[in-house]
């Protein structure tokens, strides 16, 4: 029986200057599923469509239909403008079933989320996308696990950080993209974002 190899996270955290919110998933899919070298790279993952709906009222604004890939420069520009940071809760992992499912993902070493928060004092909220990311973050800080759409307060370095749980952006999660977008929008609004005026 072959030993399951340990994978190390392929990306550095994306932390814009004056980031306000940190979105955490679990770990990227295998490289053959990437459409770009960045977070949520799988073309059938709906994170960037959800962000398009929320901020631009256009679920394909980050999608290049001609080349069948996400538009990385536009995504990075959007994240920088909105003060949205990205990383994952798993730094070293094993894929127990050789797929991208969180259910079969073993986190060998969690990411240094406390270090990110220490170095970026402007971050006041964290969104975890999915069950395993939520459970992993809660275990790091010894806090309770929020239900989807709910918030738990984290006390860290003399500040309070709001931990929100969002539905997974994976299409394997049984919720329509419109309902997922509503859940994420509610979180952003609660975290202080003004979504009343859509960008163009």
14-16-19 Cα angle (round to 5): 110
- Structural domains of the chain in order of their starting residue, each with its CATH number: 7-190 (3.40.470.10)
Average pLDDT along the chain: 93
pLDDT tens column, 46-65 = 999 999 999 999 999 999 99
Q: Which CA distances in Å does 78 have to 52, 82, 113, 185, 199? A: 10, 6, 22, 16, 10
pLDDT tens column, 162-184 = 999 999 999 888 899 999 999 99
Cα–chain center distance at 95: 19
pLDDT tens column, 134-165 = 999 999 999 999 999 999 999 999 999 999 99
Percent of the chain with pLDDT over 70: 95
Banded pLDDT at 101 (limits 50, 70, 90): low
Q: What is the mean pLDDT of residues 184-193?
A: 96
Q: How far apart are CA 69 and CA 58, in angstroms?
A: 16
C-beta of residue 128 within 8 angstroms of C-beta of residue 135: no
What pTM was computed for the model?
A: 0.94
- Collapsing DSSP to helix, strand or coil, 155 comes out as strand
Banded pLDDT at 200 (limits 50, 70, 90): low
Tokens 């459970």 correspond to 135
Nearest Cα to 14, choosing from 90, 100, 83? 83
Q: What is the mean pLDDT of residues 91-100?
A: 82
The set of residues, in sequence order, having a beta carbon less than 8 Å from that of 32 and lying 6+ positions away, is none
Beta bridge partners of 129: 166
Q: How far apart are CA 108 and CA 92, in angstroms?
A: 5
Q: Is the predicted pLDDT of residue 1 greater than 70, yes or no? A: no
Banded pLDDT at 127 (limits 50, 70, 90): very high
Banded pLDDT at 97 (limits 50, 70, 90): confident
């Amino acid at each position: 029986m072959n030993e399951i190899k340990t994978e190390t996270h392929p990306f550095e955290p994306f932390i814009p200057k004056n980031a306000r919110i940190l979105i955490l998933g679990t770990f990227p899919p295998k490289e053959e599923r990437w459409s770009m070298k960045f977070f949520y790279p799988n073309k059938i993952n709906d994170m960037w469509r959800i962000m398009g709906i929320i901020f631009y009222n256009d679920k394909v604004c980050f999608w290049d239909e001609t080349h069948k890939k996400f538009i990385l420069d536009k995504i990075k520009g959007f994240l920088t403008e909105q003060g949205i940071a990205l990383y994952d809760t798993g730094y070293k992992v094993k894929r127990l079933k050789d797929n991208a499912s969180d259910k079969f993902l073993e986190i060998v070493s969690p990411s240094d989320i406390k270090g990110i928060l220490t170095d970026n004092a402007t971050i006041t909220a964290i969104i975890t996308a999915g069950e395993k990311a939520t459970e992993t973050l809660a275990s790091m800080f010894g806090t309770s696990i929020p239900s989807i759409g709910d918030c738990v307060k984290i006390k860290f370095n003399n500040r309070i950080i709001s931990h929100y749980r969002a539905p997974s952006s994976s299409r394997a999660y049984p919720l329509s993209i419109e309902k997922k977008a509503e859940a994420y929008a509610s979180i952003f609004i609660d975290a202080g974002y003004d979504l009343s005026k859509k960008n163009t």
